[in-house]
Amino acid sequence: MTLPQPAVLLGGISPDVFLRDYWQKKPLLIRRAFPDLDNPLSPDELAGLALEEEVESRIVLTQGVTPWELRRGPFSEDDFKTLPERDWTLLVQAVDQFVPEVAELTRAFSFLPTWRIDDVMISYAAPGGSVGPHFDNYDVFLLQSHGRRRWKIGQHCDDQSPLLDHPDLRILRDFDEEQEWVLEPGDMLYIPPGIAHHGIAEDDCMTCSVGFRAPSHSEILLHYTDFLSQHLGDGQRYSDSDMRAANDPSAIDDQSIERLQRIVLELVQDKAALATWFGRHMTEPRYPELIEPQELPAGTLHEELQNGYGLMRNPSSRLAYRLENEEHLLLFASGEHCVLPATLLPIVQLVCNNDYLDCEALLGWKNNGEAWTLIEQLLAKGDLLLEGDDE
Ligand code: SIN
Ligand code: CO
């Protein structure tokens, strides 16, 4: 499939205009965003994935044993046979990790950082199927890949918006419809965080949701402080060598609180530590068990490459980098990091920005020991895989 250029994907506006006027601000409907879309997965193939143990899947029935009944996968073939004719949706999470053609869709969004993209969820709905009016806390591009779905958008929501009393699903009690459209295959709807939306299948249909990763403030604080605390010695403690005699021994005075503030502020002002934590956190894989350490090829790597092999990014791996200064860069690979000389920037960019690298792209680096070691380390860790080029 030919991926659309950004101007087509965004309906004629440039990425800069999209980011300025819509991203995280207001919804945008784009007709024929993917004009050459080949549905990357058939309904049967999606159902097949939902039978697998390691794949996260759910079925929502508009009216099952209870209203909005949620069933969790993995499912059996019999589970599908007993579903009604209409009014249910199958949702499969992170399909991009299992189907390269689905992962490829995300490359059309390369005007956004890859580490912001979380996963591609795909839903299949029987006519009338819906997961109810709801809002998400992250941006989402809803790409219609098969059949037609009616999308309604509504009000701005937040943590205070009233929800139905449901044990598992966050369905809005009220939905103030503002606009609605019927999406055809290739059409796409961008929805910013917090905007109520409600999709209802017109016919049997499929939707690919490209969702984004945005850590909550609570997650940032919790995980960053956890990361920092691993590097702090037990001897680094609250200290008050400047203390004066207490007027009231049970009172906690302002000076004590200011001493604490200085400790906390000093720790969060460490930009290098924050960047290291952030890169690790944003590249944490959803399924770490799918990134397994590997044996290096028996022959030399460049011989393997010359024999028609190339390097594929493990679909479960997440890679990103940060140029720290003129001398160093940090490479983040699936929740871990290493410090590299800045001279390796071109090979790091090559590895991070490509899903597949053939022999020609790599052989220019074979006499650079540091670059070659890096590739071997990523192979050994399982972030890169040696693959025949079957593109
Ligand atoms: C769906 O595909 O049915 C739901 C996707 C979403 O609303 O985020
Ligand atoms: Co949603």
Distance between the two ends of the chain, CA-based, in angstroms? 12
What are the tokens at 307? Answer: 């024999």
Helix axes 369-381, 345-353, angle to 10 degrees: 30
- Position 277 scores a pLDDT of 98
Task: Please tell me whether residues 21 and 151 are part of one structural domain.
Answer: yes
Cross-strand partners of 310: 387
Q: Is the predicted pLDDT of residue 338 greater than 50, yes or no?
A: yes
Name the residue at shortest CA distance from atom 5 of ligand 1: 209
Task: Please tell me whether residues 204 and 292 are part of one structural domain.
Answer: no
Task: Please tell me whether residues 85 and 206 are part of one structural domain.
Answer: yes
- Find the DSSP H helices in 69-204: 77-81, 100-105
pLDDT (average), residues 50-75: 96
Alpha carbons 74 and 282: distance in angstroms, whole number? 27
- Give per-residue pLDDT as tens, 107-135: 999 999 999 999 999 999 999 999 999 99
Q: Is the predicted pLDDT of residue 390 greater than 60, yes or no?
A: no
Task: Please tell me whether residues 192 and 57 are part of one structural domain.
Answer: yes
Q: Is the predicted pLDDT of residue 320 greater than 60, yes or no?
A: yes
Q: Structural domain tally of the chain?
A: 2
Number of the ligand closest to the Cα of 209: 1
Beginning with the edge strand found earlier in the chain, give each strand of the sheet holding 309-313 in spatial order. 356-357, 309-313, 384-388
Q: Is the predicted pLDDT of residue 391 greater than 50, yes or no?
A: no
Task: Please tell me whether residues 295 and 185 are part of one structural domain.
Answer: no
- CB-hemisphere CA count at 13 Å for 340? 26
Ligand 2 center to 85 CA (angstroms) = 23
Domain boundary (184, 212, 240) is at 212
- Position 232 scores a pLDDT of 94
Domain assignment present for residue 239? The answer is no
- Secondary element (H or E) of residue 339: strand 336-341
Q: Report the nearest atom of ligand 1 relative to the CA of 197.
A: 7
Task: Please tell me whether residues 158 and 63 are part of one structural domain.
Answer: yes
Task: Please tell me whether residues 20 and 112 are part of one structural domain.
Answer: yes
Cross-strand partners of 125: 89, 205
Alpha carbons 186 and 33: distance in angstroms, whole number? 6
Domain assignment present for residue 26? The answer is yes
Alpha carbons 24 and 206: distance in angstroms, whole number? 25
Could you tell me whether strands 328-333 and 195-201 are parallel, antiparallel, or unpaired per DSSP bridges?
unpaired
* Mean pLDDT lowest among 64-73, 172-181, 351-360: 351-360
- Secondary element (H or E) of residue 229: helix 217-229
- Position 362 scores a pLDDT of 87
Rg of the chain on CA atoms, in Å: 25
Q: Report the nearest atom of ligand 1 relative to the CA of 199.
A: 3
Question: Which structural domain, as residue segments, surrounds residue 117?
Answer: 6-212
Domain assignment present for residue 280? The answer is no
309 pLDDT tier (thresholds 50, 70, 90) = confident
Task: Please tell me whether residues 15 and 137 are part of one structural domain.
Answer: yes
pTM exceeds cut of 0.85: yes
389 pLDDT tier (thresholds 50, 70, 90) = low
pLDDT (average), residues 265-286: 96
pLDDT (average), residues 187-203: 98
Q: Is the predicted pLDDT of residue 219 greater than 70, yes or no?
A: yes
Give the residues surrounding ligand 1 with Cβ less than 6 Å away: 89, 123, 131, 136, 140, 197, 199, 207, 209
Task: Please tell me whether residues 199 and 306 are part of one structural domain.
Answer: no
Choice between 73 and 387, residue whose per-residue pLDDT is larger: 73
Task: Quote the mean pLDDT of the chain.
Answer: 95
Name the residue at shortest CA distance from atom 1 of ligand 1: 123
CATH number for the domain spanning 363: value is 3.40.366.30
| Burial bucket for residue 170 (CB in 10 Å: 0-12, 13-18, 19+) | middle
Q: Give the environment of ion ligand 2: residues with CB less than 5 A.
A: 136
Name the residue at shortest CA distance from atom 4 of ligand 1: 131
CATH number for the domain spanning 105: value is 2.60.120.650
- Backbone torsions φ then ψ of 239, nearest 5 degrees: -135, 150
- Position 51 scores a pLDDT of 98
Task: Please tell me whether residues 198 and 295 are part of one structural domain.
Answer: no
